[in-house]
Amino acid sequence: MAVNLTIPAQSDIHAVQGVQIGIASAGIRKAGNKDLTVFTFVPNTSIAGVFTTNRFKAAPVQVCEAHLATESDVRALVINTGNANAGTGEPGLADANQTCNELAKLLHLRPAQILPFSTGVILEPLPMPKLLAALPAAVSDLQDNNWFNAAHSIMTTDTQPKLHSQQLNLANKTITITGISKGAGMIRPNMATMLGFLATDVGIAPELLQDMTREIANKSFNRITIDGDTSTNDSFIIAATGQSGLHIDSVASPHYTPVFNALREAAIDLAQKIVRDGEGATKFMTITVEAARSSEEARKVAYSIAHSPLVKTAFYASDPNLGRILAAIGYAGVHDLDVNLIRLWLGDVLVAIDGGRNPDYLEADGKRVMEQSEILVRVSLGRGEHTETVYTCDFSHDYVSINADYRS
């Protein structure tokens, strides 16, 4: 039961010239599941990625980083769900490499031209015979506009597919940006059991694309949190095929800003969709912390609020128990915070001021905001110029049910 998550009609999903997608059933976790997805890109596509900071980095993440570091002509992605190939040690690495080797043979590429991705249960060996047996079917299925099916085939505990597609006109050319993502537990910055794949037919110089990908991740996929758990497998990829004929070589390019903004908008939409479909979510919350001394300080306070189980259960209950938000601000680890300077708004309602409750605050006003499905929590720390925003959801009975039952 996702929160205001819109699924575009299949007819509104624009293919990205230079990208093909094929899907197959490997039956990794359940027989018959469409759980294997292959992307291919035309030559001269730029590919950039950002990955989890978890020290138990999954095997496919390690292989992705190695391939991106050494290979300038990445040409395919292979994604399985049902098993994360994480916490699997050396055998797991061998499995991720073998997956690339076998797909390379089918696509007539070098193994390093392939990036592998896995999502699902941790600490269990990848069932390689099933996965390898399904690769030819995925390759046979490669086609130009398969995004809608791919959004389904990368789902794990997601209840809805997550897609974004837009076109804009630049320099008399129609350019396309299309992407998909998946959540839905173990979500927090840097990054999550979260996969995001975004492609455009704009051409973007490889190093520039890497900078853009990092910057965009820091305003989108790295600013969402469901349960504070940073997964072992999180990956976000942007591919730029250049097939539209529009090319960007530097930030000085006249088309840099509109392309950057459109990619960022797409990434924020795909990231927010992960939160909207957060495990058990019934509400979508935007937490904005303003007037902080640094971005880091603003983030600390925003995440402290966004991770508090007490805050999240109060939102679930539509209970304006706002003292829990003040408590979360207070323990965020900003040691010289002057609580008398803090202001707290819930939507448009000023709740706290001068270290306590706003004398004009009426509980009915708080309750009115808390009953909405989209809630803005705004905090001013009153001590600087920096602002950060994170997106999160509430904490419901269903979160516990989903996570207590995940493997059964």
The conformation of residue 113, written as its DSSP 8-state character, comes to G
Q: Should residue 87 be labelled a site residue for a second copy when binding is judged by CB under 8 A?
A: yes
Q: Should residue 30 be labelled a site residue for a second copy when binding is judged by CB under 8 A?
A: no
- Taking CB under 8 A as the criterion, the residue among 270, 326, 375, 377 binding a second copy is 326
The conformation of residue 74, written as its DSSP 8-state character, comes to -
Closest CA to 165 of 193, 127, 120, 199: 199
- Residue 193 marked ligand-binding: yes
Question: Encoding tokens for residue 357?
Answer: 């409750």
- Taking CB under 8 A as the criterion, the residue among 331, 362, 371, 373 binding a second copy is 331
CA quadruple 407, 164, 247, 218: dihedral sign: negative
- Is residue 193 annotated as a catalytic residue, yes or no? yes
CB of 361 to a second copy, least distance (A): 9
CB of 192 to a second copy, least distance (A): 10
Whether residue 191 contacts residue 230, with contact meaning beta carbons closer than 8 Å, is answered with yes
Q: Should residue 393 be labelled a site residue for a second copy when binding is judged by CB under 8 A?
A: no
Catalytic, out of 193, 200, 241, 392: 193
The conformation of residue 15, written as its DSSP 8-state character, comes to P
Distance CA 194, CA 188 (A): 9
Question: Encoding tokens for residue 60?
Answer: 């496919």
Q: Should residue 65 be labelled a site residue for a second copy when binding is judged by CB under 8 A?
A: no
Tell me how crowded residue 140 is: count the other CB atoms within 10 A of its CB: 12
Q: Should residue 91 be labelled a site residue for a second copy when binding is judged by CB under 8 A?
A: yes
Binding mask 176-215 for a second copy (x = CB under 8 A): ---------xx-----------------------------
Distance CA 97, CA 111 (A): 8
Cβ within 8 Å of residue 32, ≥6 positions away: 25
3-class secondary structure for 189-252? CCCECCEEEEEECCEECHHHHHHHHHHHHCCCHHHEECCCCCCCCCEEEEEECCCCCCEECCCC
Stretch that binds a second copy, among 210-218, 292-300, 302-310, 382-390 (CB under 8 A): 302-310
- Taking CB under 8 A as the criterion, the residue among 25, 313, 380, 389 binding a second copy is 313
Q: Should residue 323 be labelled a site residue for a second copy when binding is judged by CB under 8 A?
A: yes
- Taking CB under 8 A as the criterion, the residue among 249, 356, 373, 374 binding a second copy is 356
Q: Should residue 387 be labelled a site residue for a second copy when binding is judged by CB under 8 A?
A: no
- Taking CB under 8 A as the criterion, the residue among 335, 360, 364, 385 binding a second copy is 335
Distance CA 64, CA 75 (A): 12
Give the distance from CA 89 to its chain's centroid. Answer: 25
Enumerate binding residues for a second copy (CB under 8 A).
53-57, 84, 86-92, 121-125, 185-186, 227-232, 307-310, 313-314, 316-317, 319, 321-324, 326-332, 334-335, 337, 339-340, 352, 354-357, 395-397, 399-401, 403-408
Binding residues: 156, 182, 193, 279, 403, 408
Binding residues for substrate: 156, 182, 193, 279, 403, 408
- Any idea which residues carry the catalytic annotation? 193
